[in-house]
Structure 1
Amino acid sequence: MSTSTTQPTAPETKIEADPNLPTITITREFAASPDKLFRAWTEPELVRRWLGPKDTEMRIDHWDARTGGSWRYVAVRGGEEIASFYGSFHEMRPSSRLVQTFTYEGAPDGVSLETMTFSDLGNGRTLAIGVSVVESLKIRDLILASGMDVGVNEGYDKLDVLLSEL
């Protein structure tokens, strides 16, 4: 008699780029309510715990999560600052929508407009869809080639753990 055990698999994160538009769309299902997911995206202590690759810590320098607010954080690896980012919150609709800008300080002309939507799937599950719009296909392709997929996937893995604790 043979038995097999099935290990749960992590939800798939889809990172897609329309060949004709300077956009990146990231889609992921989470085992959490829209309320929890929105909190994880907007409360600085929670954001700090999940954002970015596993070997990176986030230091939040400024965080004013409200329509018209702004933010800045720094990625730290091995005690050294490796990158910093800033932006503005343009729209906050609790538990459903977040619109913000995102700028890497190393390329201040490359502002991205990001819209996150959180759709309740029922049974404690939420679909998160992030759409980023940048200035050109060239900038979009540089972002995609930067290794951002590693940061997104590892960050979402950390977010799964965080959401299970909320």
Structure 2
Amino acid sequence: MMTQTEMTKPANKVKASTPSEREVRTERIFNAPRERVWKAFTDPKLLAQWWGRGNKLVIERMELVRGGHWRFVEHAPEGVHGFEGRYREVTPPERIVQSFEWDGMPGYVCIETMTLEDLGDGRTRVVSTTLFHTKEERDGMLNSGMTEGLEQGYAVLDRLLETMA
């Protein structure tokens, strides 16, 4: 049974926008302190529980330092999907800049900048801006279901953050 607070608490959803011809910006508020959200994004054991939208995720590499390599492989019902990149900047607990590439489209690399903003009330705003080489690459990513997949992963992250409390 839902409590009165749960019934009146608005659902957090991903807000997506295109601030420029080559960028996608997503924003989402989490009902958890910034340090807890940072840990869920940077601890491989926690990340593996939500990043793959609840599917099995194998973290092959996660060298969370400037120049470090990361590689994640999601085992989804529709197949296996590999993702990888290099960390350009890691500033705990507020910012990660990394390259991002999907095995399904080798050579199409984008740059993601994620910031975690402490809202001061136990909540955290996560903003990600992804820069693509061309407008066509940006539009292709948007049309691939990027926002829906992100929302699925963030819904799993919400549940994980609650158990970490």
What's the TM-score, normalizing by structure 2? 0.89
Q: Where does structure 1 lack aligned partners over 5 or more consecutive residues?
A: none
Letter in 2 for 1:129: V
Bigger Cα Rg: 1
In the TM superposition, 1:146-161 aligns within 5 A as 146-161=144-159
Question: Using the alignment, how far apart are the partners of 2:104 and 2:12 within structure 1?
Answer: 32
Percent of aligned pairs with the same residue?
33
CA contact (8 A) 1:96 1:119 kept: yes
1:90 paired residue number: 88
- Return structure 1 stretches of 4+ with deviation > 6 angstroms: none
Question: Using the alignment, how far apart are the partners of 2:162 and 2:48 within structure 1?
Answer: 16
Q: CA RMSD in A?
A: 1.6
Q: Where does structure 2 lack aligned partners over 5 or more consecutive residues?
A: none
Pairwise CA distance, 1:32: 1.2
Question: Using the alignment, how far apart are the partners of 1:111 and 1:163 within structure 2?
Answer: 30
1:77 paired residue number: 76
The total of aligned residue pairs comes to 159
CA contact (8 A) 1:67 1:91 kept: yes
SS in 2 for 1:67: coil
Question: Using the alignment, how far apart are the partners of 2:63 and 2:111 within structure 1?
Answer: 17
CA contact (8 A) 1:52 1:152 kept: no
CA gap 1:63/1:73 in 2 versus in 1, 3 angstroms: same
Pairwise CA distance, 1:156: 0.5
Question: Using the alignment, how far apart are the partners of 1:52 and 1:101 within structure 2?
Answer: 18
In the TM superposition, 1:14-163 aligns within 5 A as 14-18=15-19, 20-54=20-54, 56-78=55-77, 81-163=79-161
CA gap 1:81/1:65 in 2 versus in 1, 3 angstroms: farther
Question: Using the alignment, how far apart are the partners of 2:134 and 2:81 within structure 1?
Answer: 22
Pairwise CA distance, 1:52: 3.2
